[in-house]
Amino acid sequence: MDILCHTFAVDRGDLSRTAVLSNTEAPPAPGEVVLRVDTFALTANNTTYADLGDQLGYWRFFPAEAPWGVVPAWGFADVIASACDGIAPGERLYGYWPMATHARLTPVRLTPDSLVDATGHRQALPAAYNLYLRTSGDPAWRPDLEAIQALLRPVFITSFLIDDLLGDVTPPPEQVVLTSASSKTALGLAWLLQQRGMAVAGLTSAANLAFVQGLGCFGTVLPYDRLDALPRGLCSATVDFAGSGTLRQRVRDHLDDPSAWRLAVGFTHRDATPEAHPPPFFSAADRLRQRGRDWGRDEIARRVADRWADFAPWVAQRLTVQAGRGLADVEAVYRQLLAGGVPANVGHVLSPAA
């Protein structure tokens, strides 16, 4: 039976312009499954996917006709029709979905805890995004923490990889400065750095100051207008989640160390200020590929799962999950994120079905 699918899309040339695209999904062809997308998280991480859609290939995961692009999101979906041996209707998967009511996969490499999507157009894309976890066999899955998993497990992997990269920095930094310290990727990184005894300084807006101070994983927390109080004279590393050239230059000028290690990660405070020496942009996919060669996929998964098992219940006590239903709610939250209007202690987990 054909299935009517509705997809939230954005104009790739004007991210403030949105539409709902509708199409009919045919029954699964041999080897395919069709899923109903149940819930996904919508955070600043998704707007970063849109910002870098062309540069890093995020538009290519779920192609749409120009000028539209489909922003990927992390969450859960249930198989409603299967023509793939080893997967039955009712199975629940965690992974990378379109912001849509339905999705289609071509599963291969089935194991008790995971599978890989082998849909043709995704084969040239980073393998990490083609991996789906089967909740029935995922040792890290907890039904009471599904919302936290959707919100933070993807960005926690990024946090883990940045923390791992910082371990390679020579000389080792004496302090790590995080801009947009209230962002969810920064939160995970600060927690990881604290676990290994690193001094962490966070810069945030005045509105988010109390939240970041209350987390307990930053040694120093300052509003942006007081960044001149950051400790100087230390070997410092800066990880920028804000994406503001003006802010990066202010931090660089204050620390007054041209050789200080710097990395750009996100765009929570976009501006187009040109920089004489912009930091390199972090590619989680590249670091994941490197560690895949060094450690192997199973060892990466084990190390991330070990850290996640401690982090998830800790962070669940510090975030408020807000649920929404329907693509109208998806659009409303997306626009809030573009405008920077989502409180730092709030995470949105949405169901695309009304």
CA distances from 11 to 172, 269, 270, 338 (A): 43, 20, 18, 13
Does one domain contain both 252 and 180?
A: yes
Q: Is residue 232 part of a domain?
A: yes
Sheet of strand 3-11: strand arrangement = 14-25, 3-11, 68-69
Q: What is the pLDDT of residue 147?
A: 97
Same domain, 31 and 108: yes
* pLDDT of the chain, 354 residues: tens digit per residue: 678 999 999 999 999 999 999 999 899 999 999 999 999 999 988 998 998 898 889 999 999 999 999 999 999 999 999 999 999 999 999 999 999 999 999 999 999 999 999 999 998 888 888 999 999 998 889 999 999 999 999 889 999 999 999 999 989 999 999 999 998 899 999 999 999 999 999 999 999 999 999 999 999 999 999 999 999 989 999 999 988 888 998 999 999 887 789 999 866 555 556 667 788 889 888 898 899 899 987 898 889 989 999 999 999 999 999 999 999 999 999 999 999 888 889 999 999 998
Q: Supply the pLDDT for residue 45.
A: 83
* pLDDT of the residue at 269: 56
Which is nearest to 89 in space by CA: 146, 46, 34?
A: 34
Q: How many CB atoms lie within 10 A of CB 120?
A: 7
Query: Token digits for 289?
Result: 């590929």
CA distance 148 to 319: 9
Using alpha carbons only, how large is the chain's radius of gyration in Å?
20
Q: According to the model, what pLDDT value does residue 340 have?
A: 82
Residue 127: the pLDDT is 81
Would residue 314 count as lying in a domain? no
CA 51 to chain CA mean position, Å: 13
Listed residues 260, 285, 310: the one ending a domain: 285
Number of structural domains found in the chain: 2
Residue 113 lies in a domain: yes
Whole-number Å distance between alpha carbons of 101 and 351:
8
Q: Which DSSP state fits 119?
A: -
What pTM value is reported for the model?
A: 0.85
Q: Which of 285, 303, 330 is the last residue of a domain?
A: 285
Give pLDDT, residue 144: 94
- 350 — phi, psi (to 5°)? -120, 145
Alpha-carbon separation of residue 348 from 88, 100, 324 (angstroms) = 30, 16, 7
Distance CA 31, CA 21 (A): 26
- The verdict on 178 and 262 lying in the same domain is yes
pLDDT for 244: 86
Let me know whether 133 and 166 are in one domain.
no
Number of H helices, E strands in the chain: 8, 17
DSSP codes, 135-181: TTT-TT--GGGHHHHHHHHHHHHHHHHHHHHHTT-SSPPSEEEESST
- Phi and psi torsions of 281, nearest 5°: -90, 135
Order of strands, sheet of 236-240, starting from the edge strand that comes earlier in the sequence: 220-223, 199-204, 175-178, 236-240, 261-264
State the CATH number of the domain containing residue 120.
3.90.180.10
* Position 69 in a domain: yes
Range of the domain at 128: 3-138+319-351
178 and 254 inside one domain:
yes
Residue 40 and residue 123 share a domain = yes
153 vs 304: CA distance, rounded Å: 9
**Maximum Cα interatomic distance, the chain, rounded to a whole number of Å:** 67
Tell whether 305 is covered by a domain. Answer: no
